[in-house]
């Protein structure tokens, strides 16, 4: 098992997984990051799910795929990639419990590590929601490293998409400033220097077609047409 960074280790605490949906996906997203899970993130996640194989990176509690079963059911395979084995198990169980009948594979590794050869050019969609702001380092370097690895997993017509909380060039409200300070000090976030332009540049380094939008303090991104690896 690979060593677990503090940003992923926190999800091994039972109360974190039990309270994540309420605290992060409801309270924090609606009123602190100001980017609704129900009306923004979930429809965005569902919109770009591929027709054959989908890779979800940084799986959290599995909320997004489990609430996208009607759309996800069209895929033959869902692969979950995360550094924390506890989140992989919890997400797989949640997706199965929601009714997914296809193949579910789990990959226990860091997003900073290259994808296994068996996953190269396999997926027509790869999602990574709320992971980049947890990774150590800052944009554009950490984003470029992860994006390069994930781009290698896409089919030529595939799409990489996701979301991340920004720290640079945005106006956090008072609650957001408190959470940013607490999370960055604890090591669960590392995003003080994560700006939307740096994210866009990192994506453009590896993709020919890039769209980045901002809602509240969250960047939503879609990248297509991977450049040659």
Model pLDDT for residues 84-95, shown as the tens digit of each residue: 999 999 999 999
- pLDDT over 60 (residue 10): no
**Residue 16 — pLDDT band, cuts 50, 70, 90?**
low
**Residue 229 — pLDDT band, cuts 50, 70, 90?**
low
Q: Which residue has the higher pLDDT, 8 or 212?
A: 212
| CB proximity list for 189: less than 8 A, separation 6 or greater | 7, 133, 134, 165, 167, 180, 183
pLDDT score of 222: 98
pLDDT score of 22: 80
pLDDT score of 221: 98
pLDDT tens track for 22-32? 888 889 999 99
Instruction: Tell me the domains of the chain and their CATH numbers.
Output: 6-226 (3.40.50.150)
- pLDDT over 70 (residue 9): no
- pLDDT over 50 (residue 13): no
Q: How far apart are CA 55 and CA 123, in angstroms?
A: 7
pLDDT tens track for 111-165? 999 999 999 999 999 999 999 999 999 999 999 999 999 999 999 999 999 999 9
| CB proximity list for 70: less than 8 A, separation 6 or greater | none
- Could you tell me the pTM of the whole model? 0.91
Owner of token pair 């569902």: 46
**Residue 227 — pLDDT band, cuts 50, 70, 90?**
confident
| CB proximity list for 118: less than 8 A, separation 6 or greater | none
The answer to whether the CB of 198 falls within 8 A of the CB of 24 is: no
């Amino acid at each position: 098992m690979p060593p677990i960074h503090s940003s992923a280790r926190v999800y091994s605490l039972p109360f974190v997984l039990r309270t994540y949906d309420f605290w992060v996906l409801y309270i924090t997203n609606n009123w602190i990051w100001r980017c609704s899970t129900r009306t923004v993130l979930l429809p965005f996640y569902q919109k770009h799910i591929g027709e054959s194989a989908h890779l979800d990176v940084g799986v959290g509690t599995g909320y997004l795929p489990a609430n996208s079963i009607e759309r996800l059911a069209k895929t033959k395979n869902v692969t979950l990639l995360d550094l924390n084995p506890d989140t992989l198990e919890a997400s797989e169980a949640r997706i199965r419990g929601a009714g997914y009948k296809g193949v579910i594979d789990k990959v226990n590794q860091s997003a900073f590590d290259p994808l296994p050869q068996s996953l190269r050019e396999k997926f027509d969609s790869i999602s990574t929601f709320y992971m980049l702001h947890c990774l150590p380092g800052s944009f554009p370097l950490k984003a470029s490293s992860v994006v390069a690895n994930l781009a290698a997993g896409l089919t030529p017509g595939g799409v990489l998409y996701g979301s991340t909380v920004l720290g640079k060039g945005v106006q956090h409200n008072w609650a957001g400033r408190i959470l940013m300070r607490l999370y960055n000090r604890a090591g669960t976030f590392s995003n003080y220097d994560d700006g939307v332009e740096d994210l866009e540049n990192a994506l453009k380094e590896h993709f020919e077609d890039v769209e980045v939008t901002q809602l509240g303090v969250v960047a939503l991104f879609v990248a297509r047409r991977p450049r040659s690896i």
